[in-house]
Amino acid sequence: MIQETLLYLIAILPVILIGNYIYKKDKNKEPPFLLVKLFLLGIVSCFVVLAITFLLSFIFPLLTKEIATMNYLELLLYTFIGVAFIEESAKLLMLYKLTYKNKEFDEGYDMIVYAVFVALGFAVFENLLYIISSGSLWVGLFRAISAVPGHACYGLFMGYYLSLAKFSNLQDKKEEERRNKWKSLFIPVILHGIYDFCVLSGNLLLLAIFIIFITQLFIFSIQKLNYLVRNNQALPKQNKYCSNCGKVVKGKYCWYCGKQQE
């Protein structure tokens, strides 16, 4: 009973601590109901991943292959595409649908908070699955100090680039918006893939690289977070376009055709 309690505590406590840390950094707090919804959508994204993986396993047998029997190429494909790409895509879908056009999203840092809360929802459910299936305190502790903060870091980068995409959108920079949207997916995928590949490889050299990688990731993420908090900006007002000629309008009347704007 005591061990089970410890396992659940190990699974949940880092999520609470990280979520509280991110939330306190936000000077203009986001609505609690919205954050709860994002956290729950993070959990929902776990089920989306399970469903997608199940369906794809009929097409790609690699997804059901024992990790211990995989060669390095198979492990690379499995970790970066079969795990990281699917998981980060599911999280990004939940995040984008609820927040990108949400009226509460009015500052750059807001998207960081949103993305991390989705990531933490995913992390807590995934953590519980791992800990319950293994029943190991060591697995729980390892995931508490690496996997859960790792998911938060992936969320930070996802939110950062999605926030940049929104700034680009409001400045009518469509190509830049598109690039940042892709970055909001692929940067977390790369970071996530490196984590999983190194851990699952069982190779001592890669495990040493993993320690360096995860340490630097955490340090850089904290520095990035503090920088974003200090330099937080309100989203610019979206350009208004003339209903008659389609040109950008700065005032009450269109400079080009003279039509009064509503």
Quote the crossing angle between the two packed helices 148-170 and 2-25, to the nearest 10°.
Answer: 30
Give residue-wise pLDDT tens across range 106-132: 999 999 999 999 999 999 999 888 888
Domain count, the chain: 1
What range defines the domain where residue 209 resides? 2-231
- Gap between the Cα atoms of 49 and 164, Å rounded: 26
Q: For the chain, what is the mean pLDDT? A: 91
In b/e form, how buried is each residue of 36-72, taking b as 16+ CB within 10 angstroms? ebbbebbbbbbebbeebbeeeeeeeeebeeeeeebee
* pTM, entire model: 0.89
- Gap between the Cα atoms of 115 and 95, Å rounded: 6
For residue 41, is it within any domain? yes
Q: Calculate the dihedral angle through the C-alpha atoms of 35, 40, 46, 49, rounding to the nearest 10 degrees.
A: -80
- Gap between the Cα atoms of 236 and 169, Å rounded: 10
Check whether 243 has a pLDDT greater than 70: no
Check whether 71 has a pLDDT greater than 90: yes
Query: What count of residues does the chain have?
Result: 262
For residue 20, is it within any domain? yes
